[in-house]
């Protein structure tokens, strides 16, 4: 918009300059020509009194040489034949005989072009005998155009100054209009990137001030809605404390035994998860799967969670295989987040495969990544892409569609990803790629690209 305004102003100013400067230059040129010929007429008139008294060549020559034009050899006098006297030509004549005769015939001043450049003013003058003499004054081209070149240069300079000045004013005006629009666009980008404190100064033209005010009001509304959502999440999570307390008391009365111990551990874990949700909502920040300095031993976490799920697998007659957890495997993921991801994957195995279906958990430690594989011998997933979409439960009972999204967020926080495929057992394989240096699988850029693809698939 800024450059468009500059171009429009440039075009308008250029047309105005041409419309006024060209006619003015032509007027100056005409005035210079009139001035030169008017001066020639005055010089021709100075010889008139002498011609009215005498036509003697000696006297006429003295009179011609006494004038400014005569001294400069630019004046000539053409006297016709009078009686028996032959015609007399005094001075250096440049106009042809035909032009002189034509001027004598019509009886008024004329001009004639001179070979080699310039013009000749022919002024008829009456003699005492009644005949007509013609006084010729040579006007060179330099006098006709005297000052015209300077005038054109001055007009061109003034026109250029006007154009430059108008462009400068248009540029400043365009900047005043564009700068608020650029600030509005920048604030919109910041808000889209999650910086909720982005606001726009309400200045500039009236329309942009209105747009800035509307944007600020929208941003305030977004912040308020998010705050209300966090408060609602905290309140709903807090309401779970009462039934959790009842469960904890009931679990304490179960006595001893593996089942009772597992029930108490599950209740304690659920209480910790609820506390985490409440703290996160109150702190008004999203939970981070990978925090600077945070990490855990993936092997230890997997062994701990498998000890919990193995009891249930034994009850349902499932064969369990665990591999790759016999040594320490450090990953940049907090223990609660990895445990939640494992519970989500293993919970899907128990929830969506028949009893007696075997499953396996394998850990592979590479130089720059750790791969966790959870595979089963169940019926598999018909549409893996749809299963990875947040909130897609596939119409299955007891599913919220958020389990695999939890796993995906944990992987992508390290620069990795999650893929679903066919396992060697014949069912579903969930492959979780956890990056160790943020550069695996394309790093953050690869994560953003994958997110873009998922968004396009979900649209």
Q: What average pLDDT does the segment 328-337 reach?
A: 88
Write down the pLDDT at residue 132. 87
Are the C-beta atoms of 78 and 158 separated by less than 8 Å?
no
Is pLDDT larger for residue 258 or for residue 369? 369
Q: Find tokens 């006494």 and name the residue.
A: 66
Are the C-beta atoms of 429 and 374 separated by less than 8 Å?
yes
Window from 35-49, 272-286, 417-431, 434-448 with minimum mean pLDDT: 434-448
Neighbour tally for 430: CB within 10 Å: 28
Q: Buried b vs exposed e over 38-49: b needs ≥16 C-beta within 10 Å? A: ebbeebbebbee
Bridge partners, residue 104, by sequence: none
Q: Is the pLDDT of residue 128 over 90?
A: no
Structure tokens at 112: 């004639």
Strand segments, DSSP code E, in 72-117 are: 75-79, 88-91, 110-113
Is pLDDT larger for residue 442 or for residue 98? 98
Span 143-174, pLDDT tens digits: 888 888 888 888 888 888 888 888 888 777 77
Share of the chain above pLDDT 90, in %: 11
Write down the pLDDT at residue 431. 93
Write down the pLDDT at residue 1. 61
Quickly list H helices, 46-115: 48-53, 57-65, 68-71, 97-106
Structure tokens at 287: 């939970």
Residue 47's closest CA among 153, 148, 121? 121
Residue 264's closest CA among 251, 254, 255? 251
C-alpha 439/C-alpha 435 separation (Å) is 7
User: 124 in helix, strand or coil?
Assistant: strand
- Mean of per-residue pLDDT scores for the chain: 79
Span 84-101, pLDDT tens digits: 778 888 888 888 888 888
Neighbour tally for 414: CB within 10 Å: 24
DSSP class per residue in 240-297: THHHHHHHHHHHHTT-SSHHHHHHHHHHHHHHHHHHHHHHHHHHTS---SS-TT--EE
Q: Is the pLDDT of residue 287 over 80?
A: no
Window from 204-208, 260-264, 400-404, 406-410 with minimum mean pLDDT: 400-404
Write down the pTM of the prediction: 0.41
In eight-state DSSP terms, residue 81 is P
Q: Is the pLDDT of residue 405 over 90?
A: no
Residue 348: which residues within 8 A CB-CB, separation 6 or more? Answer: 403, 404, 430
Span 175-186, pLDDT tens digits: 777 778 888 888
Write down the pLDDT at residue 241. 60
Q: What average pLDDT does the segment 51-56 reach?
A: 80
Residue 438: band (very low, low, confident or very high) from pLDDT cuts 50, 70, 90:
low
Is pLDDT larger for residue 199 or for residue 325? 325
């Amino acid at each position: 918009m800024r450059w468009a305004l500059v171009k429009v102003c440039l075009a308008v100013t250029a047309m105005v300059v041409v419309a006024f400067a060209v006619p003015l230059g032509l007027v100056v040129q005409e005035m210079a020509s009139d001035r030169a010929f008017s001066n020639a007429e005055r010089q021709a008139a100075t010889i008139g009194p002498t011609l009215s008294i005498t036509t003697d060549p000696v006297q006429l020559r003295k009179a011609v040489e006494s004038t400014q034009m005569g001294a400069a050899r630019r004046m000539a006098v053409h006297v016709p034949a009078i009686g028996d006297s032959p015609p007399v030509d005094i001075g250096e004549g440049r106009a042809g005989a035909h032009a002189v005769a034509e001027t004598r015939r019509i009886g008024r001043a004329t001009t004639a072009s001179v070979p080699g450049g310039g013009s000749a003013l022919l002024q008829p003058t009456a003699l005492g005998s009644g005949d007509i003499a013609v006084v010729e004054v040579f006007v060179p081209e330099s006098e006709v155009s005297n000052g015209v070149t300077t005038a054109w240069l001055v007009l061109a300079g003034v026109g250029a100054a006007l154009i430059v000045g108008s462009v400068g004013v248009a540029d400043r005006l365009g900047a005043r209009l564009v700068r608020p629009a650029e600030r509005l666009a920048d604030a919109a980008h910041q808000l889209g990137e999650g910086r909720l404190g982005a606001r726009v100064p309400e200045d500039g033209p009236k329309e942009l001030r209105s747009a800035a005010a509307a944007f600020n009001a929208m941003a305030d509304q977004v912040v308020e809605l998010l705050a209300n959502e966090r408060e609602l999440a905290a309140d709903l999570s807090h309401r779970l404390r009462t039934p959790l307390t009842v469960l904890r008391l009931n679990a304490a009365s179960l006595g001893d035994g593996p089942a009772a111990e597992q029930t108490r551990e599950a209740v304690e874990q659920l209480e910790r998860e609820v506390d985490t949700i409440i703290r996160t909502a109150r702190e008004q920040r999203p939970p981070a799967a990978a925090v600077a300095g945070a990490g855990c031993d993936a092997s230890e976490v997997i062994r701990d969670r498998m000890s919990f799920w193995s009891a249930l697998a034994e009850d349902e007659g499932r064969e369990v295989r665990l591999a790759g957890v016999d040594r320490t495997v450090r990953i940049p993921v907090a223990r609660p987040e990895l445990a939640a991801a494992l519970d989500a994957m293993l919970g899907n195995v128990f929830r969506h495969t028949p009893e007696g279906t075997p499953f396996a958990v394998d850990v592979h430690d590479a130089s720059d990544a750790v791969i966790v594989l959870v595979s089963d011998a169940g019926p598999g997933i018909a549409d893996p892409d749809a299963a990875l979409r947040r909130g897609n439960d596939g119409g299955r009972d007891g599913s919220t569609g958020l389990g695999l999204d939890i796993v995906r967020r944990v992987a992508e926080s390290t620069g990795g990803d999650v893929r679903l495929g066919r396992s060697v057992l014949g069912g579903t394989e969930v492959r979780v790629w956890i990056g160790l240096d943020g550069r695996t699988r394309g790093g953050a850029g690869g994560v953003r690209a994958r997110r873009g693809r998922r968004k396009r698939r979900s649209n």
